[in-house]
């Protein structure tokens, strides 16, 4: 069921839903027009609704972002809580040493063995332009019961809220 609320309330809800999700799927468009998705570790979701990632400057996604007016899609899911978010946003590559220092953690070193000084290390910031979320407030058992009931009755299940949010 689609819900209505103020933009700031809705953006806060999106922020709260995604801030603890550690892996997202980033989708770009390649040179042949194909949608290409890959898992990315989320470094941070900041107070400006920007999602931060470490990446390699030499990665094809950096060129794909530049060639497609910085437009990307980020998909995030918290399966345990039945929360799903799709973000349309604008990506920017940044060489911000202070931000790299702020976001750096030992897990990042697995991808960048030379550490923070790796010449191929860069940041991607994705600003949320629009997000759509689906959130089931009921427990997993209730959701399963609703799906079973819907299968028997032929009536669609009531599976929570859905909203599009514009930033």
Residue 100's pLDDT is what? 97
Whether 1 has a pLDDT exceeding 50, the answer reads no
A 10 A CB-CB count for 121 gives: 19
- From the centroid of its chain, how far is CA 136? 18
Q: Considering only residues 153 and 60, tell me which one the structure prediction assigns the higher pLDDT.
A: 60
Share of the chain above pLDDT 90, in %: 71
Whether 142 has a pLDDT exceeding 60, the answer reads no
pLDDT category of residue 40 using cuts at 50, 70 and 90? very high
Domain ranges for the chain: 7-166
CA distances from residue 48 to 15, 67, 69, 153 in whole angstroms, order as listed: 10, 25, 20, 45
Whether 147 has a pLDDT exceeding 90, the answer reads no
What is 7-166's CATH topology? Pnp Oxidase; Chain A (2.30.110)
Residue 152's pLDDT is what? 73
Cβ–Cβ under 8 Å, residues 71 and 54: no
**Would the pTM count as exceeding 0.85?**
no
Cβ–Cβ under 8 Å, residues 123 and 55: yes
Cβ–Cβ under 8 Å, residues 126 and 89: yes
Q: What is the mean pLDDT of the segment spanning 108-121? A: 94
Q: Considering only residues 51 and 5, tell me which one the structure prediction assigns the higher pLDDT.
A: 51
What HEC string does 9-21 produce?
HHHHHHHHHHCCC
A 10 A CB-CB count for 124 gives: 23
Among 14-18, 73-77, 111-115, 140-144, the range scoring the smallest mean pLDDT is 140-144
Whether 132 has a pLDDT exceeding 60, the answer reads yes
List pLDDT tens digits, range 3-20: 445 678 889 999 999 999
Cβ–Cβ under 8 Å, residues 135 and 160: yes
Cβ–Cβ under 8 Å, residues 41 and 23: yes
């Amino acid at each position: 069921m689609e819900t209505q609320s103020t933009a700031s309330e809705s953006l806060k809800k999106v922020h709260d839903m995604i801030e603890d999700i550690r892996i997202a799927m980033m989708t770009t468009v390649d040179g042949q027009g194909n949608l290409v998705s890959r898992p990315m570790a989320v470094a941070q979701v900041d107070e400006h609704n920007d999602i931060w990632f470490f990446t390699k400057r030499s990665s094809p996604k950096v060129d794909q972002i530049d060639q497609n007016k910085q437009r990307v899609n980020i998909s995030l899911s918290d399966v345990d809580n039945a929360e799903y978010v799709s973000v349309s946003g604008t990506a920017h590559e940044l060489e911000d040493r202070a931000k790299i220092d702020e976001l750096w953690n030992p897990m990042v070193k697995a991808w960048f063995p030379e550490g923070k000084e790796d010449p191929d290390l860069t940041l991607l910031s994705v600003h949320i332009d629009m997000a759509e979320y689906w959130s089931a407030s009921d427990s997993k058992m209730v959701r399963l019961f609703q799906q079973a009931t819907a299968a028997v009755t032929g009536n669609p299940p009531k599976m929570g809220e859905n909203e599009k949010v514009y930033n």
